[in-house]
Structure 1
Amino acid sequence: MSTENTMSGGLAGVVVQAGSIGSIALPDRPDPALNGLPPRTPAFVGREEELERVLRILDPAVGESGPRSVVISGLPGSGKTELLLQAGHRALGEPGWFPGGCLFLDLRGYDERQRLSPKRALGSLLRALGVPSDHIPPTTAERAAFYRTALAELADTGRRVLVVLDNVGNSGQLRNLLPGDTGTATLVSSRNSLADVDAALLTLRELSTEGGSRLLAEVLRLASVEDDRVVAEPEESDRIADLCGGLPLALRILGASLADTPARPLSDLRRELAESRSRLDVLQRDNSGVRAAFDLSYRRLPKDQAQLFRLLCLTPGPDFSTGTAAQLSGLDGPRARTALTGLARMHLVDQRESWDRWRLHDLLQSYAADLASPEEGHEAFRRLFIYLASRLKEAVTLFRGGTPEALGEWPDNLTFSEWLQAESTCLVHAVAGLHGAGDDLLTMAIALDLAPYLLEQHHVDDACMTLSAAVTSSRRLGEKKREAVLLTHLGLALKDLRSLKKSVRAHKAARRIAREHGDVHLEAATMNHLGLTRYEQRRFSDSLRLHRAAARLFKRSDYPQDRAGALLNAAETLLKMGRTQDSYKLSQKAERLFRRHDDAHGRAQAQGSLAVALRHDGRLGEAADLHAKAVSEARSLHRPHTLAIELANYGSALMEEGRLDEAVLAMKEALPLFQEIKDRRGEAQALGNLALVRQRQKGWSGALDMHARACELFFELNDDHFLAHELFNTCNALLRLGRHSEAVDTLETAAGLFAMTGDEPGELRCRDWLAEIVALHGAVARKGGAP
């Protein structure tokens, strides 16, 4: 099928009187000035899905079920024009779609000097349709009516036209150019969203890493079929795509640069991009480049939007709130939201799925940083971070159940917990930025409030990074007691990361500082935390001693809730030592203390510990009821980690009571909670427990799959003791499936791990079971399963 774009006929002989249109005659040939589309590039990858979506809308067979116009929008350099041309050429090549050809016009909506007004644009389009200049009406309204009538008549006579309008500046420039009939289709590209016109809207996002790498490879392949640098250095290619933020214009510029220098490795270009003060300097070729594309949009911004855009380079983290933008710019909330909405219409910021949160593309952030002056940036920087620090202190105080000294209205209609959840990642980035900028006081202040929340939510990597930076800042400031607080929290993060020796060192250093300063409460906290690490090292006697000593010090310093927490830790250690009754009594004591001081979170945790002790004592019904109560308490607190733990324990209690379907429901609710908060150890334990339920339901293959996933997680976490338990539990499923030699190998591995972690009873259980299997010479596993 030919892809010829020339018009098959024109229009003339039109009589215009008093705004009415008379008869339309078709001349033999149209004016050739605007016939046909510009050429499309053969290097088109990463937008296949978007192209098919546009073609579905243009397909005449779809009928009149939706708009026949498509507006393609996106940030500068995102490939809007190229998608427009690709869709136009494909549509013109489809038999019977647009037999009348194509009208193409570049409206230059972002060029102040060359921008076409609707009146001039209509004149150009009418001339392209073959209308002589002296027949073109004088006013915009008359030209629009003439134009629509002409397109409708072409469609009615079997010569339907595709109208392609590139670089439309705003809705006002476009509205008079849209056809009025249902047969003629229009393709539009714009940097603005143009949501107020009757058209299907398609917003282009950045290319994926894979899509960006494919585009780079295709640009190089077209320059030379022998260029295999992307194949030879795939990781470097992916990194280049990421450094370009998935922006097609940037990738095409780099592709052309690489084509000019065939011997240059991708690694060298990647280093230049990564190390350049401004990546935009690298993304330049001749008189065009990414910066020039951004300039066209920036120059059109009103003063308040331009100022806000410049300052957005200071936002920490992957996105930001309207409240953050307001603090940066000095605008009030409604005016900041209006300015951001304007920037979003220009695709200079993206609105996220969550209301009132926004994102700035990496290259636009670099561009904004080049525009911002040091003076306005410094003032805005301090204003923002002082605001974040004060808001964080209020939010964390409320999160812990306290009452802040000065409680203001929460920004963006969020609760304090929603604000913490939304801003925690940005605050982590803020600490890194402040530390890098040498602002030790704010680094320390934010970390002291943020780290306990991060640990509670199990954002362990973020907590470790934040605390490490803050410890360095506290030492530079000579703030010894704050250093101790930060160190003991760092010890908790290191424990969760399974860096147990480093955790011990951090806690001991914190305890030494606390004792030097005579701070009894801080010393108690360090001992309590050190006890948790000793528990993970399976040094249960040391753990118990530390928790009991911490409880006594907390009592001396009059911190009853902290004392209750230390007692609860001691109770869990006693349970591990087989002292069930002692554990139950201590958990009861802790629960009474939490209840007396109205600590709902502590009470839920204590109820969970009491329920586990009841399970160990064989009182399964009572345990399940108490677990259910703990789940209900945890659910009301909106603390996902506590809820996940209580649900998992409840599921185990239901399993032991034989209520297997209910156990599956509880465990399946816990599993995604662990995954969401990135508690991989909790996830692994939940998977292992769910596998045990499947075993009881005789779903051996499904159980084996879940055991395998749990084992992988424990292995990645370097948690040898839990891995040993999981391998042990896996063996029964292997035996039931007749895989006896695998069961033997698995048990031997588990026995070795138990021995390595000092669990002699665990090792003996493995050895006894191994002897039984070997005695049976690989025969069918014994009916009772695992001993």
Structure 2
Amino acid sequence: MAEEPNPSNPKVIKMEGTAQDESKLTQIGSVNAENFHLNAGQVQFLVHLESGSKAESPGVLRAGDPGKSLAYWQGRTAEIAQIQQWLTDENTFLIGIEGIGGTGKSMLAAKIYDEIVGFPKRFWADVSNGASFSDLARQVLTEFGFPVPEQEAQLVEALVRCLRSGQFLLIIDNLESLLQPDRQWGSLFYGDFFQAWVEHGGNSKVLVTTRERPELKGFEWLPLKGLQVDEGVALLTVLGIRGDLTQFVELVDGHPLLLRLVADLLKEEYSQDPDLSRLADLGLGNLRQFLTDSQVVGVHRRENVGMVLVLDASFNRLNELQKALLLNISVYRGAIDSAAAVAMLPGSSAAEIEGELRNLVKRSLLVEKLNGKRRFEFQPVVLEYVRYQAGDRTEVHQRAINYYLLNLKQKPWQTKEDIKEYLEVFHHWVQLENYDSAFDILWACNDFLILRGYYTIQVDLYGQLIAAWKKKAERNNLNHAAAFTSLGNAFHSLGQYQQTIKWHEKSLDIKIEIGDHKGQATSLGNLGNAYDSLGQYPKAIDYYQKSLEIFQKTGDRSGEGASLNNLGIAYRGLRQYPQAIDFFQKSLKIFEEIGECRGEGNSLTGLGNIYYLLGQYQQAIEYYQQSVEIFKKIGDRSGEGNSLGNLGNVYRSLDNYERAFDYYQQSLQIQRKIGNLRGQANAWFNLGLTLEKVYRESDALGAYRNARERFQEMGVNAELLLCNDAIERLSQPKTPVVSHRGFWVWLLRLWRWVRAWFRR
């Protein structure tokens, strides 16, 4: 920002500059220098405050009780009445509270959450840390007592079904944290969920708070402004402030946070006489002049101008330790305890830091939360201000990294909460533009993310790295190629095969460019897997053969075994069973020799599949059971679920429907937990076949429809046709039968049961 004198009028200052973010800063205007003293930094922050949102990388969802004190609540009767009307309107499904920072959107939502009647179950979710939809949906479903499919594409459907089944209230706070500057979603599936909820709806309501509206129809919006004059006066009165309260509330348009900041500043500085006339002593004597100057408020919102001036005054009255504390802890995301604050100022004692944190709470610069453990967090607008003041934060980002590294939770991990420190380290490395270190910390928990089905977390984080590398024009980087591979694998697990092919091809290009032969073989194999999943077996075989040749040439036995196993799968798809058996046996021998258990399990599964197709059921059962034992031992839930489903197939073919049904249910439960879309589709289809066999046509129809939805999502046409045929067959009107049909049905069921019992 530069201040440049205007030669034609020495009392007029022309103010121009460039914003520190990517927003556009236009000319502020010409203002009389005698009554205008906004400095360059203040103008810069105003532009920053009024610029678009930037989506956060995925962090940990803050859910449960809003944790907001309503002790000084005043008014908002008209706003509450409007929201209550929407909450009782059967045609309203989405409600949005929109307003600038500090207008009390979250407080109003908390008031609704605490006091609204008619919703026996409710859920509060603060997404200000960029929480993924996966976290939100899983926690809501768990709280409301519904089964949790962990694959995010299924979570959209599951959450909508959950909300349709009862009368629930879901509040999503700080939605702007999920939006990019163009108001598009920065995280997968939120837009899909809101769109699906608008289309289907129900008795439940979804209420959001945001500074910016997403590009989405179907909302009833409440634009939230400041308090009414009498409400603002009541707030200042209960806070113990004296003076011309009415005039001041009118001046700041009743902005709640601005009123609190001014009140707390006066009480802290002049506890015996907190009168508004004291503002002049705090450097705010010209506040009225600024907020009534059309050349100032004509460009910026009056509340924002007032917020900048009051925050400046509050910050300038802090002691050096308080300033340093605020600047340093602003590097964190979300609420922190005093230990995290001490890590930012290693020369200070824990007691000293704890005391200063509480002093900052008294000034409304921090908010204290007492949910079991004392924690502190910023008001969102205050956080933006402090971060803007902090300037270069390289050192504090490094301190945050060191703090989290010292507090990493050791394996075994069970939930995403167990790796939250890893995700925070990733975030800070990205802020430092050290993308290789960010990749390394993400890679440390990559297997966990895969095994637990957090595929969209991988998509978000690896996608963030790839976009950053692209911006820096970095290409010949092994980590960059590995990120492409991980992104492709994540999309493959989500059943999005065209995206899978796109990213694996990019990974292959890099590996060819940098001469990574083993990496080339891996990418070729991954491309083969994608085409195999699409049923394009000749193309898959071509990729597998190329992969096999490279692994054999480089002496990579594990890679050679994997390629042989993949070829067995492809030849099975072509129904060339002798060739498939040969490939599986070769791969099994290699994996046994090198002691690679997962490879053994895969080869055993492949052999079981072939013998099942050949009708040699007992041999198939033996191979499948061996594979189940291996997958259980190494914790491979996907392999275990697939083998259980395969055992179900065998027992269905043996007419032992009870055991088949049990295996399919076990498989479906696992596939849901890990988010395997194809596994879920196969399990549902096989359950449909089994239910048909025992004349439960209605249940079978539902199973086929579930399978069809998943196959449609994946774009797999062959299985989709089978589902459609089954649904059409069961949807046909039934021909009337003679009255004694029930007896023959019962007799046939008894005969099948007796035959299955003797075959055990």
TM-score for both structures, normalised by structure 1: 0.50
* Number of the residue aligned with 1:716: 713
* Number of the residue aligned with 1:668: 665
Q: Distance in 2 between matches of 1:309 and 1:673?
A: 46
Structure 1 residues 458 and 348: CA distance shift in structure 2, 3 A: same
Q: 1:317-369 CA distances to partner (integer Å, 9 max, x unpaired)?
A: x899999888767699x999999x9999x9845769xxx9x9988x7465445
Question: 2:520 matched to 1:541?
Answer: no
Q: Distance in 1 between matches of 2:338 and 2:555?
A: 42
How many angstroms does 1:545 deviate by?
A: 2.7
Q: Is this contact kept in 2: 1:284–1:290, CA < 8 A? A: no
Which amino acid is 2:700 matched to? A
Structure 1 residues 285 and 326: CA distance shift in structure 2, 3 A: closer
1:745-756 alignment, distance < 5 Å: none
How many angstroms does 1:302 deviate by?
A: 14
Question: 2:256 matched to 1:285?
Answer: yes
Residue in structure 1 matching 2:644, options 643, 647, 666: 647
Structure 1 residues 313 and 569: CA distance shift in structure 2, 3 A: farther
Q: Distance in 1 between matches of 2:720 and 2:671?
A: 18
Question: 2:411 matched to 1:415?
Answer: yes
The 3-state SS of whatever aligns with 2:579 is: helix
The 3-state SS of whatever aligns with 1:288 is: helix
1:158-173 alignment, distance < 5 Å: none
Question: 2:171 matched to 1:209?
Answer: yes
Q: Distance in 1 between matches of 2:565 and 2:265?
A: 59
Residue in structure 2 matching 1:382, options 384, 389, 398: 398
Which amino acid is 1:382 matched to? Q
Q: Is this contact kept in 2: 1:39–1:85, CA < 8 A? A: no
Q: Distance in 2 between matches of 1:282 and 1:254?
A: 14
Q: 1:610-662 CA distances to partner (integer Å, 9 max, x unpaired)?
A: 22122112122232233233223222333333333233223223322323222
Structure 1 residues 253 and 242: CA distance shift in structure 2, 3 A: closer
Q: Distance in 2 between matches of 1:617 and 1:295?
A: 85
Residue in structure 1 matching 2:580, options 568, 580, 583: 583
Which amino acid is 2:671 matched to? F
How many angstroms does 1:731 deviate by?
A: 4.0
How many angstroms does 1:573 deviate by?
A: 0.9
Which amino acid is 2:411 matched to? T
Q: Is this contact kept in 1: 2:169–2:207, CA < 8 A? A: no
Which amino acid is 1:590 matched to? S
How many angstroms does 1:292 deviate by?
A: 7.2
Structure 1 residues 38 and 259: CA distance shift in structure 2, 3 A: closer
**Larger C-alpha radius of gyration, 1 or 2?**
1
The 3-state SS of whatever aligns with 1:584 is: helix
Q: Is this contact kept in 2: 1:312–1:365, CA < 8 A? A: no
1:540-619 alignment, distance < 5 Å: 540-619=537-616
The 3-state SS of whatever aligns with 2:663 is: helix
Q: Distance in 2 between matches of 1:320 and 1:583?
A: 57
Question: 2:463 matched to 1:468?
Answer: yes
Which amino acid is 1:725 matched to? L
5+ long unaligned stretches in structure 2: 1-71, 85-104, 118-167, 176-197, 200-204, 214-219, 230-251, 269-313, 737-760
* Number of the residue aligned with 2:138: none
1:693-732 alignment, distance < 5 Å: 693-732=690-729
Which amino acid is 1:380 matched to? V
Which amino acid is 1:531 matched to? G
Q: 1:225-261 CA distances to partner (integer Å, 9 max, x unpaired)?
A: xxxxxxxxx99x967525699xxxxx9996454989x
How many angstroms does 1:549 deviate by?
A: 2.8
Which amino acid is 1:719 matched to? V
Aligned length: 486
How many angstroms does 1:683 deviate by?
A: 2.0
How many angstroms does 1:700 deviate by?
A: 0.4
Q: Distance in 2 between matches of 1:375 and 1:706?
A: 57
The 3-state SS of whatever aligns with 1:209 is: strand
Q: Distance in 2 between matches of 1:295 and 1:555?
A: 77
Structure 1 residues 573 and 483: CA distance shift in structure 2, 3 A: same
Which amino acid is 2:544 matched to? H
Structure 1 residues 612 and 286: CA distance shift in structure 2, 3 A: closer
Which amino acid is 1:415 matched to? K
Structure 1 residues 39 and 735: CA distance shift in structure 2, 3 A: closer
Which amino acid is 1:374 matched to? A
Q: Distance in 1 between matches of 2:536 and 2:112?
A: 65
Structure 1 residues 41 and 691: CA distance shift in structure 2, 3 A: same
Q: Is this contact kept in 2: 1:621–1:657, CA < 8 A? A: no
Question: 2:409 matched to 1:441?
Answer: no
Structure 1 residues 723 and 40: CA distance shift in structure 2, 3 A: same
1:472-511 alignment, distance < 5 Å: 472-475=467-470, 476=472, 477-497=474-494, 500-511=497-508
How many angstroms does 1:704 deviate by?
A: 0.3
| Structure with the larger RCO, 1 or 2 (CA within 8 Å, 6+ apart) | 2
Q: Is this contact kept in 1: 2:338–2:354, CA < 8 A? A: no
Q: Is this contact kept in 2: 1:253–1:285, CA < 8 A? A: no
Q: 1:26-85 CA distances to partner (integer Å, 9 max, x unpaired)?
A: xxxxxxxxxxx999986768999xxxxxxxxxxxxxxxxxxxxxxxxxx99589999999
Structure 1 residues 571 and 378: CA distance shift in structure 2, 3 A: same
* Number of the residue aligned with 2:529: 532
* Number of the residue aligned with 1:241: 209
How many angstroms does 1:577 deviate by?
A: 0.8
After superposing the two structures, state which structure 1 stretch, 536-545 or 485-494, moved more.
485-494
Q: Is this contact kept in 2: 1:444–1:474, CA < 8 A? A: no
How many angstroms does 1:708 deviate by?
A: 1.3
Q: Is this contact kept in 1: 2:508–2:523, CA < 8 A? A: yes
How many angstroms does 1:578 deviate by?
A: 0.4
Q: Distance in 2 between matches of 1:643 and 1:291?
A: 62
The 3-state SS of whatever aligns with 1:241 is: strand
How many angstroms does 1:527 deviate by?
A: 1.2
Q: Is this contact kept in 2: 1:500–1:533, CA < 8 A? A: yes
Structure 1 residues 501 and 415: CA distance shift in structure 2, 3 A: closer
The 3-state SS of whatever aligns with 1:544 is: helix
Q: Distance in 2 between matches of 1:443 and 1:282?
A: 44
Q: Distance in 1 between matches of 2:619 and 2:457?
A: 39
Q: Distance in 2 between matches of 1:288 and 1:427?
A: 39
* Number of the residue aligned with 2:755: none
The 3-state SS of whatever aligns with 2:209 is: helix
Identical-residue share of aligned pairs (%): 13
Q: Is this contact kept in 2: 1:684–1:714, CA < 8 A? A: yes
Residue in structure 2 matching 1:628, options 625, 630, 635: 625
Structure 1 residues 722 and 292: CA distance shift in structure 2, 3 A: farther
Q: Is this contact kept in 2: 1:40–1:82, CA < 8 A? A: no
1:654-693 alignment, distance < 5 Å: 654-693=651-690
